[in-house]
Structure 1
């Protein structure tokens, strides 16, 4: 089994409150979950209104499939016009390493 994770660090545009932040981040998280059938959640910068950390996890029997999914997810995150992707940290682990 292979486990892949991505941690996105987003900078939000014209956002002035945590309520506005939620209205930007929630649709992104929901779309990633629905479109790619992966685990995803807002995980960092919870108290800042112009930054957001979003974590994604993918599990598969094939390392190549996990890598392909992580590439696709990173391209999707970078293409969102309402946020700027500051960084994407990636990790690929075999269950034998755990």
Structure 2
């Protein structure tokens, strides 16, 4: 059996964040919603000290490349549809 690990780095701009505290509140909401809906691992992985920028890392494990890719693309679309932050860029990689 083969195992596919998919990773997605998602760059966000948080226009309404005026402090690290408000940034963390928005990210906490995004992360909990993504975890509950998709059962993936998600964490802030870069730009932790910048108020209006964030990079989220999302990881998924699957037996099929297409399945992992589909989940990660759905996560990106879901985050964008929340309208809590502007999606700047994202990259998906597989191992």
Structure 1: runs of 5 or more not aligned: 94-98
SS of the residue 2:72 aligns to:
helix
User: Which residue of structure 2 aligns with residue 8 of structure 1?
Assistant: 10
Q: CA RMSD in A?
A: 0.9
How far apart are the structure 1 equivalents of 2:17 and 2:30?
Answer: 15
2:29 to 27, 30, 41: 27
Q: Does residue 65 of structure 1 match 2:42?
A: no
TM-aligned CA deviation for residue 80 of structure 1 = 2.2
Find runs of 4+ consecutive structure 1 residues off by over 4 angstroms: none
SS of the residue 1:49 aligns to:
coil
Give the TM-score, by structure 1 length: 0.90
SS of the residue 1:14 aligns to:
coil
How far apart are the structure 2 equivalents of 1:80 and 1:87?
Answer: 16
Give the TM-score, by structure 2 length: 0.93
How far apart are the structure 1 equivalents of 2:17 and 2:70?
Answer: 32
User: Which residue of structure 2 aligns with residue 74 of structure 1?
Assistant: 76
TM-aligned CA deviation for residue 5 of structure 1 = 0.6
SS of the residue 2:82 aligns to:
coil
SS of the residue 2:77 aligns to:
helix
TM-aligned CA deviation for residue 25 of structure 1 = 0.6
